[in-house]
Amino acid sequence: MHKHIQLNKQPNTKYQHFILTDDKVIRVALREKLEKECSEDRHSKIVEELGITHGVARVDIAVVNGVIHGYELKSDKDTLNRLPGQIKIYNSVLDKVTLVVGKHHLHEAIKIIPEWWGITIAKIVDSSGVALYNIRDAEQNPSQDNIAIASLLWREEALNILEELHQAIGVRSKNRRIIYQRLADVLPDQMLKTKVREYLRARINWRSDLQCTLNGD
């Protein structure tokens, strides 16, 4: 049974009556919010369209630091048709997930997502953008798949970790699935997650990432 959620009533404006949120305006507002939140954390990285299971699914925005927190956007102009499949994939990998949803889909989305997912509602507040109202905080994922977590790495990254551990013998020429399996076998759960986060934060040639730093460093 899902937890009861108290929706804070926000004052209506004329824009809320006829302007629907879309992916672009929500993404801009969320990026601005996340950039502010991680501006004092040199170890945080914001990544747009983080590929999971090698592109089978892409979470809209992810913040990588001590956890990997994914944010999935569902605007008023979107549908929820893909959400059940996305839930299954995200649940296998991400430490935390927040659904950022337009008012139109809010009540239906609450019925679909797990109780540990966070929920943020996006509402038009003026002609220039949206406001984000957090109505449920994301909790820690109770069940993840270590092979799926390992597959966030590029093949060369995973193999490099195995080399460091002197565990690469017999898999250097194998396909990535076997390499990920070996990595999941030799590393304890928490150490695997830590290594994956370290490599994701260290990547410098992602096209859509933003390294959060202080003083331009």
Kindly report, residue by residue over 79-125, the tens digit of the pLDDT: 999 999 999 999 999 999 999 999 999 999 999 999 999 999 999 88
The domains of the chain, with CATH numbers, are: 14-136 (3.40.1350), 146-206 (no CATH)
Flag whether pLDDT at 7 surpasses 50.
no
Percent of the chain with pLDDT over 90: 75
With H, G, I as helix, E, B as strand and everything else as coil, classify residue 188: coil
Tell me the CB-side half-sphere exposure of residue 191, using CA atoms within 13 A: 9
Terminal alpha carbon distance of the chain = 47
Flag whether pLDDT at 207 surpasses 80.
no
Confidence of residue 48 (pLDDT cuts 50, 70, 90): very high
**Distance in angstroms (rounded) separating the CA atoms of residues 195 and 215:** 27
Between 18 and 73, the more confident residue is 73
b (16+ CB within 10 A) / e for 195-216: bbbebbbeeeeeeebbebeeee
| pLDDT value of residue 20 | 87
| pLDDT value of residue 115 | 97
Flag whether pLDDT at 129 surpasses 50.
yes
Confidence of residue 172 (pLDDT cuts 50, 70, 90): very high
**Distance in angstroms (rounded) separating the CA atoms of residues 61 and 68:** 10
Residue pair 56/89 in contact (Cβ under 8 Å)? The answer is yes
| pLDDT value of residue 211 | 43
| pLDDT value of residue 54 | 80
Flag whether pLDDT at 9 surpasses 70.
no
**Is the Cα torsion angle 86, 29, 34, 8 positive or negative in sign?**
negative
